[in-house]
Amino acid sequence: QSVLTQSPSVSGAPGQRVTISCTGSSSNIGAGYDVHWYQQLPGTAPKLLIYGNTNRPSGVPDRFSGSKSGTSASLAITGLQAEDEADYYCQSYDNSLSGHVVFGGGTKLTVL
Amino acid sequence: QVRLVQWGAGLLKPSETLSLTCAVYGGSFSGHYWSWVRQSPGKGLQWIGDVNLGGNTNYNPSLKSRVSISVDTSKNHFSLRLSSVTAADTAVYYCAVKDTVGYYFHYWGQGTLVTVSS
């Protein structure tokens, strides 16, 4: 059971916009800690996609954007492309016994 | 550009100790935490723990009694040891660089599949 909750799957057609949500609690996202997002292509290591809620590392297309409000955060992908099909994970910091670093359970994005 | 290359035994028997090492190329140890994250087959990511340049460590409470993470700055290596492994420890283990302010993982190693089986 992950500390951060994500929907198991989401899908969209090429060119469409999809959002992936991440819900936490008062000991992590709601406490003001930043949310970060990772993309994991099949058989590869996760790759940092969004850090500090809204920031994109160099090289990440601006089709990817992040937001945060209250105890939740969202990752939006616009202009969906076939190569976006991957697992997406949110991550934050938790100040309870859950541990310092916590992840969501991951969302599988399928491009139809 | 920082590159992480990891290695270690991929097949263990129950009760043995898992040992993995990660080498850091193209970067400095200072200003970051050097971390381990694992992913059980078909499952999500779990943070194991990390160490900084000064040898200060943080561990996931659920693994703390069995985990040890250390750093060898002379070799630009850091290592993970997990004792008394069981089948539940079967996973792909990743080393990663964690930002000390934002607590996000900039860079990741290639991953090592560790299987625990009798």
How does DSSP assign B15-29, residue by residue? T--EEEEEEEESS-S
Specify the DSSP class assigned to residue A44. S
Q: Are A3 and A101 in contact (CB under 8 A)?
A: no
CB contact under 8 A, A100 and B58: yes
Phi, psi of A42 (to 5 degrees): -55, 130
pLDDT score for A86: 97
Interface mutation target, options B45, B92, B101, chain A, most CBs of A under 10 Å: B45
Query: What average pLDDT does this structure show over B61-90?
Result: 94
Interface mutation target, options A101, A103, A107, chain B, most CBs of B under 10 Å: A101
pLDDT above 70 covers what percent of chain B? Answer: 98
Pairing of strands B112-116, B11-12: parallel
Q: Are B48 and A102 in contact (CB under 8 A)?
A: no
- Chain mean pLDDT for chain B: 93
pLDDT score for B29: 64
pLDDT score for A98: 64
CB contact under 8 A, A51 and B99: yes
Phi, psi of A100 (to 5 degrees): -70, -45
Ordered per-residue pLDDT tens for chain A, 112 residues: 788 999 999 999 999 999 999 999 999 999 999 999 999 999 999 999 999 999 999 999 999 999 999 999 999 999 999 999 999 999 999 998 766 899 999 999 999 9
Is A101 in the B-facing interface, judged by CB distances under 8 Å?
A: yes
Residue B108 pLDDT exceeds 70? yes
pLDDT score for A69: 96
pLDDT score for B58: 92
Tokens for B94, please give them.
């990743």
Is B34 in the A-facing interface, judged by CB distances under 8 Å?
A: no
pLDDT score for B55: 87
CB contact under 8 A, A38 and B105: yes
Chain A hits for B60, CB-CB cut-off 8 Å, are: 99-101
pLDDT score for B101: 83
pLDDT score for B27: 72
Look at residue B88 and give its three-state secondary structure.
helix
